[in-house]
Chain A
């Protein structure tokens, strides 16, 4: 991936997304201006799901091939997934307060998202304790596969639990076309940002590993 042109593309799409959120899309009638949080809350959620899917793919591929690049993909995607999930968990309550009257309710989607976030933080902690040793890479890969089971639970939480326990709207809410377009522009901006950051983080992880190997080689030779 050529980093400078791709970064320029990310920057341009983010500018378009900002323009769409603050200058183009109409204000929603019932919720008012605060509804615009939707345009970065939902794309951040989708981006975290995509990152967790990459953890799942990277973990399976690592167990199959034992190639470090797949482990790096899983690790770096988990880190970015946690970052985007954190954005979801901060912006959600800030939207909930004026609309629901409280920052937090233990309703299905909020709770399942918090559990998913906690599991991936645990994944990163496992990685932090064991650095890049092969047993830790294997355990993390298993954890990365099992943890992904939570992602569909978060997405379908509004269908899986009784309607009277829900505060989130159903999944198939009809949006006005301008709002729909803005949502997809913002999703594109967040996805591009996610890919750019994963690429950057993977490059850093690759260099870290090379430096660690070189250091070990020097120690062994002396």
Chain B
């Protein structure tokens, strides 16, 4: 059991790296959501500018 801390550190490292990557993906997804909302707003504004037929 002497080297249990090395096993713990390696195991923790795997999870930390994977969770950091998932957090990065999550942040990018959030950014994409904001961009989509912005584009929707621009589209709405553009449709509002069009003359009634």
Q: Which residues of A contact B (CB under 8 A)?
A: 32-34, 36-37, 40-41, 44, 83, 86-87, 90-91, 94-95, 97-98, 193, 197, 200-201, 204, 207-208, 211, 214-215, 218, 221-222
Q: Is the interface of A mostly helix, strand, loop or mixed?
A: helix
Chain B hits for A208, CB < 8 A:
28, 32
Q: Is the CB of A211 within 8 A of B1?
A: no
Interface string of B13-46 (1 = CB under 8 A from A): 1100110010001001100100110010011001
A19 → B minimal CB distance (Å): 14
Which of A33, A86, A87, A211 has a CB less than 8 Å from the CB of B3? A33
With A33-B1, A201-B25 as known contacts, state yes or no: A87 contacts B17, CB within 8 Å: yes
Asked if B28 contacts A204 (CB within 8 A), the reply is yes
Q: Are A218 and B2 in contact (CB under 8 A)?
A: no
Give the chain B neighbours of A87 by CB distance below 8 A. Answer: 13-14, 17-18
Find chain A residues with CB under 8 A from B18 CB: 83, 87, 193
Closest to A200 in B: B25
Contact A34 B46 (CB under 8 A): no
Determine the interface band of chain B, counting residues with CB < 8 A from chain A: 20 to 34
A214 cross-chain contacts in B, Cβ below 8 A? 39
Count A-B contacts at CB 8 Å: 69
Closest-CB distance, B40 to chain A (whole angstroms): 10
- The one of B2, B7, B32, B43 in contact with A36, judged by C-beta atoms closer than 8 angstroms, is B7
CA distance A132 to B1 in the complex (A): 51
Shortest distance from the beta carbon of B50 to any chain A beta carbon, whole Å: 12
| Contact A215 B35, beta carbon cutoff 8 Å | yes
A136 shortest CB reach to chain B, Å: 19
CB-nearest residue of chain B to A31: B3
CB distance from A206 to the nearest CB of B (A): 11
**Chain B residue contacts of A197, Cβ below 8 A:** 21
Q: How many whole Å from B15's CB to the nearest CB in chain A?
A: 10
Q: Are A211 and B17 in contact (CB-based, < 8 A)?
A: no
Would B14 and A211 count as touching, CB distance under 8 A? no
